[in-house]
Structures are given as structure tokens and as C-alpha cells.
């Protein structure tokens, strides 16, 4: 499952980690958030180090569709439903400034991109009310959106009962721009450590990041890890981890010139690929969607197959080239969390909750993180920073959190009940699959992938959720707070920090 954008796998030259090294800032995570923050701080003259357990754009950034838009499906309507218009405008202004920063960087770095109209569209008449709410919220926030009828969408080869359109939005290769960020960061004297996994973060007795290769010290630490790898503030309970899917295709006929995202039914995201915004010699279309909470799906592989079937129906002759998925986090109060970590003594900062719109939210978060680290006064910051920083939690936010909390509790209970009631044989080598078994009342995950059978504890090392098998990516996923693990138990992402213990393999449980 390799994203279309990761055709070029040549490594960027970092440097070995020196245990005990001291920097002005250490950033954990080399995606868009981590590297935009790193570039901004390095430009300001600070000594910055970036630590990444994998490679550049390893997870969410590498799995991005490459859509950079202020319209964002039905996002603005969702925020406006429970928050004042001023907060929606602040959110749009933040994303606009983030978008402008990234495009200015792309121009300087020679990273090409394409201007396109973006569309939020209804697949059926049932979605028209959502479109009207999105249009109203967007106009209220200062965006020049326009409503379209089905007649205006005759060129779209898929069902559309109407749409909201916003011109002059962008498609860009997310990995190309991230690698360019890393390139500037290194040229300006930044320190990059890939293949180094953070195992802990501490504010006392002095701020430091613990790694498997030793500690690294800094005056400031930024966690750009999707979900924070510290439980302070309990942000894993204030966000929902969502997994969604993408498939790229060669298409013999015409593809839409604009981008589209549905607001009703099973999500459909349509993104054309050209020579200025992706490897057009490999694929001309990306179709995404079918998102769901991590670890709560009957079959992840079926979600991808559904996208393939939908594309074959509406783009005859489309030939699949790549399939992949990505994970992002949605804040229960609708706006990303950015800033100082509670009980971090002002030395630890983080960003999360982009709701799948990281290409604009991440640079916006970086702008705020940079302002805080540099000590920029409130009066000298953009108005949107102060508006978002002082927003209030409203009853609807609490209600959404309560609903998600109930789902987490139900998943926790059902996982242990299922573990006690199931006893299954080891999967056959040719299956490339996994099953959850029971050994003396303890959940065990048994998988056979690439001919290798392994057994690991099926209990998440974060808060003890019982893991579910992801049949598309061959991983063990936690339905509580979205931690994920490889078949051998290695932690991949999420709030969990420790690997799953490997267990002796037996023929059956």
C-alpha cells in the first residue's frame, strides 16, 4: 500500500543522532507540520533538530490527496452549526494564511502546482441542505463561493444533485513539497534525524526528547506527530482518529478539471493529476473516501474495493495504479488544537485535529507555534491566532465528545467480550491475514503476512483496548484512540508509545 506520491524513494541525507545534544528547538515528526515549523524557526536563526521514526512524509502527509482548499467539503458548515461566525472566519483566515505560506514556499523552491476550482457536491437531493449551509458559512467567512445546479455539472461523469464551488484552489504533490521543505531546512543548517523513534518527552529537570538512541535536549519541543505522544491534556479523548482511503488510476478518457468532495452518503473525493501536481505519467485521477474511525470497520479492504468499483462505473476503462490510506484526527470542538501542552512548563507544544485538511492547517499551526516560540506578542499576531486561541468550548462540543466517549467505551467492552468468546485457528500462510484469538482470557493477535506467522499481545499498550485486524494494511488497530501496530507488534502511530509484546506461536488458541 504505497501512495502514488512516493514513487521517488531516494533518501534525504540527515545525520546520526548524538545523544545529549542540545538545540534551541527539537521537533518530533517530519511531515508538513514538523517541517514547516522547522523551516520557519530556522529562517528566524534558531538551532532546530527534527526527529522522525520513519522517513520524510512517512504517514499522514505522504497519504494526503494533495488538495489545498479553503472550501473543505462541509467543514465550514459543521463549525458554523455550533460556533459564531467570527470563529469560522478565523478558521478560514488561518487556513488562507497557511495556504499562502505554503504556495509562496513552493514558488521559491520550484515546486509546481495547479490552480483548480474546488467543489463541495451533493450526490443526492438529500445533501442539498448541507450545501446551502456550507455556502452560507463560506460567504459569511468572506469566501466567494457560488451555488451550482445539476445543469452546471453536466461535465461531471458521476451523480451530482448540486454543488458549491470556489475558484482558485490548488492541487500539489504533498511529498514533493515536503521533501523540498526538508531540503531547505538542511541547507539552512537544520539537523534531521530519520529512523529515530521518540520514546518519551519530559519538561523536567530540563526539556528533552528520549529516543532509542539516547536523549536530545532543547529549550522548546514541538510534537508534530498527528496524535500527541504525551497524555497530558488528554487530547486523545478530545479528538477522533479517522482512517480513509485513496486509489489512483490511469484513465483513458477525460477527467474533471476541478476537484470534488461529497457532503452526503459514502464520501467521494475526486482529484485529477497533471504533470504540474503529481506523476501524471503514472496516473491521471485519484479517488478517495470511505473514511471511518480507526479499528471500527468490518473490512478496510472492502472500503478500498468499493472505491475501485465506483470509479470503474463512472470512469470506464480506469486502471488502478496505487492504493493507500491515511490517518488524521478530528477535534471534537471542530477547530485544531495548537499550542502549549498542559503541564509542559511552556516548553512543550503540539498540534493536532486538522480533520484531513493538513496542507493548509499545518502551515497555519506552524505560524502559531513559531510566534509562540519566538515570543511574538499578542498585539503583533494575526487576529485569527488570538480568536482561535481564546475560543470557548460550547455544549455541542461537549456533546460530541460524550458521544465519542460512549463509542470508545462500547468498543472497549465489546473487544474484551469478543476476546473471551473467540478461539480460532492460525491463518494459513497464503491468506496474508490475521485473527484475534484467546489464551486463558487474554486477547492474542495471530497473523500470517508474507509467509511469516506471528503472535503478539492484542491489547493496546496505551490504555488496554483490544486490537482489531486491518485487512487492507495488515496491521493491528486500536478502536479506542487509534494507535496502530505492525504484525510483529512494532508501534506505527497514535498515542501509544510502546510496542506490543511478541508471544510464542502455537497452532491454535
Which of 253, 362, 368 lies closest to 311, judged by CA?
A: 253
Q: pLDDT value at position 508?
A: 43
Domain stop point among 307, 329, 351: 329
- Counting the structural domains of the chain, the total is 3
Question: Is 78 part of any domain?
Answer: no
Residue 442: CATH number of its domain: 2.102.10.10
| DSSP-assigned letters across all residues of 419-461 | HHH---BPPPGGG-EEEEEEETTEEEEEEEETTEEEEEE-B-T
Q: pLDDT value at position 439?
A: 74
Question: Is 400 part of any domain?
Answer: no
Q: pLDDT value at position 13?
A: 74
Give buried/exposed letters for 18-31 (b at 16+ CB in 10 A, else e): eeebebbbbbbbbb
Residue 264: CATH number of its domain: 3.30.9.10
In Å, how far are 26, 198, 332, 337, 492 from 224, measured between CA atoms? 10, 12, 19, 12, 15
Q: Are residues 155 and 251 in the same domain?
A: yes
Q: pLDDT value at position 435?
A: 80
Residues in Cβ contact with 257 at an 8 Å cutoff, skipping those fewer than 6 apart? 116, 117, 272
Residues in Cβ contact with 4 at an 8 Å cutoff, skipping those fewer than 6 apart? 246, 248, 273, 278, 279, 282, 283, 286, 321, 322, 324
Rg (CA), the chain: 22
Q: Are residues 153 and 45 in the same domain?
A: no
Question: Cβ–Cβ contacts within 10 Å for residue 125, how many?
Answer: 11
Q: Are residues 379 and 438 in the same domain?
A: no
End-to-end CA distance of the chain: 30
Question: Is 107 part of any domain?
Answer: no
| DSSP-assigned letters across all residues of 200-239 | EEE-SSS-EEEETT--EEEEEEEE-SSS-SS-GGGGGGTE
Question: Is 52 part of any domain?
Answer: yes
* 285-293/239-250 β-pairing: antiparallel
Q: pLDDT value at position 456?
A: 94
Q: Are residues 344 and 368 in the same domain?
A: yes
Q: 505, exposed or middle or buried, with CB in 10 Å at 0-12, 13-18, 19+?
A: middle
Q: Are residues 245 and 159 in the same domain?
A: yes
Question: Is 99 part of any domain?
Answer: no
Q: pLDDT value at position 1?
A: 80
Residue 24: CATH number of its domain: 3.50.50.60
Q: Are residues 233 and 256 in the same domain?
A: no
Residues in Cβ contact with 448 at an 8 Å cutoff, skipping those fewer than 6 apart? 426, 427, 428, 429, 431, 432, 433, 434, 454
Q: Are residues 323 and 384 in the same domain?
A: no
Q: Which helix or strand (DSSP H or E) is residue 28 part of?
A: strand 22-28
In a 3-state reduction of DSSP, which class is residue 92?
A: helix
Domain stop point among 395, 417, 447: 395
Q: Are residues 156 and 297 in the same domain?
A: yes
Which of 306, 325, 316, 311 lies closest to 266, judged by CA?
A: 306
Q: Are residues 265 and 321 in the same domain?
A: yes
Q: 409, exposed or middle or buried, with CB in 10 Å at 0-12, 13-18, 19+?
A: exposed
Residues in Cβ contact with 212 at an 8 Å cutoff, skipping those fewer than 6 apart? 196, 197, 199
Q: pLDDT value at position 498?
A: 95
Q: Are residues 128 and 215 in the same domain?
A: no
- DSSP structure class, residue 7: G
Domain span including residue 189: 4-62+176-237+334-395
Give buried/exposed letters for 328-340 (b at 16+ CB in 10 A, else e): bbbbbbbbbbbbb
The residue to which cell 524557526 is assigned = 41
pLDDT values of the chain reduced to their tens digit, one per residue, 509 residues = 899 999 876 777 788 999 999 999 999 999 999 999 999 999 999 999 999 999 999 999 999 999 999 999 999 999 999 999 999 999 999 999 999 999 999 999 999 999 999 999 999 999 999 999 999 999 999 999 999 999 999 888 999 999 999 999 999 999 999 999 999 999 999 999 999 999 999 999 999 999 989 999 999 999 999 999 988 888 988 999 999 999 999 999 899 999 999 999 999 999 999 999 999 999 999 999 999 999 999 999 999 999 999 999 999 999 999 999 999 999 988 899 999 999 999 999 999 999 999 999 999 999 999 999 999 999 999 999 999 988 655 555 555 555 656 665 555 556 656 555 444 455 555 555 678 777 777 899 999 998 899 999 999 999 999 999 999 999 999 999 999 999 999 999 999 999 999 998 654 43
Q: pLDDT value at position 14?
A: 84
Question: Is 362 part of any domain?
Answer: yes
Q: Are residues 37 and 148 in the same domain?
A: no
Domain stop point among 299, 329, 359: 329
Q: Are residues 442 and 312 in the same domain?
A: no
Q: Are 353 and 337 in contact (CB under 8 A)?
A: yes
| DSSP-assigned letters across all residues of 357-387 | -HHHHHHHHHHHHHHHHHT--GGGS-HHHHH
The residue length of the chain stands at: 509
Residues in Cβ contact with 11 at an 8 Å cutoff, skipping those fewer than 6 apart? 55, 194
| DSSP-assigned letters across all residues of 115-181 | EEEEEEEESSGGGHHHHHHHHHHHHHTT---EEE-GGGGTT-SS--SEEEEEEEEEEE-HHHHHHHH
Question: Is 82 part of any domain?
Answer: no
Q: Which helix or strand (DSSP H or E) is residue 292 part of?
A: strand 285-293
The residue to which cell 493548509 is assigned = 360
Which of 190, 225, 171, 252 lies closest to 50, judged by CA?
A: 190
In Å, how far are 284, 439, 486 from 446, measured between CA atoms? 39, 11, 12
In a 3-state reduction of DSSP, which class is residue 194?
A: strand
Question: Is 77 part of any domain?
Answer: no
In Å, how far are 124, 126, 134 from 262, measured between CA atoms? 10, 12, 12
Amino acid at each position: 500500500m504505497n501512495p502514488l506520491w512516493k514513487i521517488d524513494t531516494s533518501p534525504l541525507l540527515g545525520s546520526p543522532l548524538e545523544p545529549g545534544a542540545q538545540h534551541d528547538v527539537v521537533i518530533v515528526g517530519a511531515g508538513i507540520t514538523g517541517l514547516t515549523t522547522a523551516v520557519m524557526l530556522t529562517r528566524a536563526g534558531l538551532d532546530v533538530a527534527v526527529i522522525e521514526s520513519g522517513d520524510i512524509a512517512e504517514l499522514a502527509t505522504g497519504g494526503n490527496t494533495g488538495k489545498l482548499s479553503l472550501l473543505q467539503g462541509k467543514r465550514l458548515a459543521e463549525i458554523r452549526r455550533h460556533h459564531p461566525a467570527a470563529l469560522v472566519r478565523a478558521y478560514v483566515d488561518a487556513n488562507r494564511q497557511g495556504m499562502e505560506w505554503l504556495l509562496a514556499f513552493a514558488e521559491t523552491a520550484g515546486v509546481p502546482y495547479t490552480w483548480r476550482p474546488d467543489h463541495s457536491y451533493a450526490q443526492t437531493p438529500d445533501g442539498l441542505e448541507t450545501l446551502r449551509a456550507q455556502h452560507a458559512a463560506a460567504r459569511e467567512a468572506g469566501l466567494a463561493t457560488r451555488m451550482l445546479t445539476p445543469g452546471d455539472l453536466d461535465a461531471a461523469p458521476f451523480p451530482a444533485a448540486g454543488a458549491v464551488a470556489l475558484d482558485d484552489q490548488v492541487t500539489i504533490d504533498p511529498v514533493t513539497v515536503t521533501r523540498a521543505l526538508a531540503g531547505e531546512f538542511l541547507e539552512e543548517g537544520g539537523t534531521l534525524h530519520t529512523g529515530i523513534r521518540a520514546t518519551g518527552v519530559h519538561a523536567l529537570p530540563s526539556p528533552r526528547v528520549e529516543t532509542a538512541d539516547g536523549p536530545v535536549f532543547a529549550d522548546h519541543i514541538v510534537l508534530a506527530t498527528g496524535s500527541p505522544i504525551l497524555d497530558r491534556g488528554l487530547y486523545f479523548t478530545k479528538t477522533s482518529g479517522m482512517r480513509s482511503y485513496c486509489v489512483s488510476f490511469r484513465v483513458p478518457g477525460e477527467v474533471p478539471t476541478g476537484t470534488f468532495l461529497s457532503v452526503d452518503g459514502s464520501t467521494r473525493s475526486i482529484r485529477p493529476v497533471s504533470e504540474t501536481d503529481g506523476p501524471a505519467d503514472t496516473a491521471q485521477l485519484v479517488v478517495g473516501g470511505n473514511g471511518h474511525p480507526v479499528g471500527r470497520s468490518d473490512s478496510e479492504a472492502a472500503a478500498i474495493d468499493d472505491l475501485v468499483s465506483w470509479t470503474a462505473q463512472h470512469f470506464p476503462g480506469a486502471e488502478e495504479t496505487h492504493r493507500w490510506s491515511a490517518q488524521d484526527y478530528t477535534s471534537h470542538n471542530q477547530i485544531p488544537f495548537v499550542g502549549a501542552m498542559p503541564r509542559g512548563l511552556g516548553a512543550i507544544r503540539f498540534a493536532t485535529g486538522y480533520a484531513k485538511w493538513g496542507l493548509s492547517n499545518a502551515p497555519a499551526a506552524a505560524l502559531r507555534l513559531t510566534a509562540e516560540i519566538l515570543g511574538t506578542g499578542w498585539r503583533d499576531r494575526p487576529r485569527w491566532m488570538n480568536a482561535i486561541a481564546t475560543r470557548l468550548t460550547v455544549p455541542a462540543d461537549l456533546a460530541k465528545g460524550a458521544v465519542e466517549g460512549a463509542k470508545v467505551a462500547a468498543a472497549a467492552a465489546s473487544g474484551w467480550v469478543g476476546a473471551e468468546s473467540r478461539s480460532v485457528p492460525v491463518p494459513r500462510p497464503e491468506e496474508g491475514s490475521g485473527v484475534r484469538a484467546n489464551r486463558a482470557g487474554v486477547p492474542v493477535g495471530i497473523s500470517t503476512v508474507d509467509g511469516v506467522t506471528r503472535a503478539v499481545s492484542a491489547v493496546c499498550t496505551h490504555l488496554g483496548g483490544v486490537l482489531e485486524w486491518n485487512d487492507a494494511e495488515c496491521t493491528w488497530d486500536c478502536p479506542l484512540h487509534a494507535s496502530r501496530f505492525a504484525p510483529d507488534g512494532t508501534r506505527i502511530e497514535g498515542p501509544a508509545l510502546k510496542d506490543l509484546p511478541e508471544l510464542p506461536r502455537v497452532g491454535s488458541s
